Amino acid sequence: MIIGYTSGVFDLFHIGHLNLLRNAKSLCDKLIVGVTTDELVSYKYKKAVIPFDERIEIVRNISFVDTVIPQDSMDKFEVWQKLKYDVMFVGDDWFQNERWDQYESQFKEVGVKIIYFPYTKSTSSTLLNETLLKLRK
């Protein structure tokens, strides 16, 4: 059985989120998804529009998702130590990022593969938030 893992804020849920989850599930038998807690969202120096309890419930009800957990740490290796997943899925906007290069090395040592999916440039929570902000002015 191949266990996959991905995580995200999943604020203002959109087609990019759905595509990530669909594609991830197609490459594993069990997909575990970490939903970033409201407290941890502040690492991006922002606040989620949709509260954590609602975001986790939305993700929990996506048919491609087998298990949902709160993501309360940015340390992906720490999460692996608890879940022992085989493959991790992430958007390619993180490809060749210094932090993710370190994860690549760490995960290679324990046999975990990182798969980068194309980031949905046309629709993102950041873009949606910026558009909503402009509309409110």
Name residues whose C-beta falls within 8 Å of residue 98's C-beta, 6 or more positions apart in sequence.
none
pLDDT digits (tens, 9 = 90+) for 71-84: 999 899 999 999 99
Q: Which domains does the chain have, with CATH numbers?
A: 3-136 (3.40.50.620)
Report the pLDDT averaged over residues 82-95: 89
> pLDDT confidence of 87, banded at 50, 70, 90?
very high
The pTM score is 0.86
Between the two ends of the chain, the Cα-to-Cα distance in Å is 51
> pLDDT confidence of 112, banded at 50, 70, 90?
very high
Instruction: Output the six-digit token pair for 71.
Output: 């993501």
Burial of 61 (0-12, 13-18, 19+ CB in 10 A): exposed
Query: What pLDDT sits at residue 80?
Result: 96
Contact 26, 2 (CB under 8 A): no
Q: What is the side-by-side order of every strand in the sheet holding 30-36?
A: 67-71, 30-36, 3-8, 87-91, 113-117
Percent of the chain with pLDDT over 90: 60
Say if residue 133's pLDDT is above 70.
no
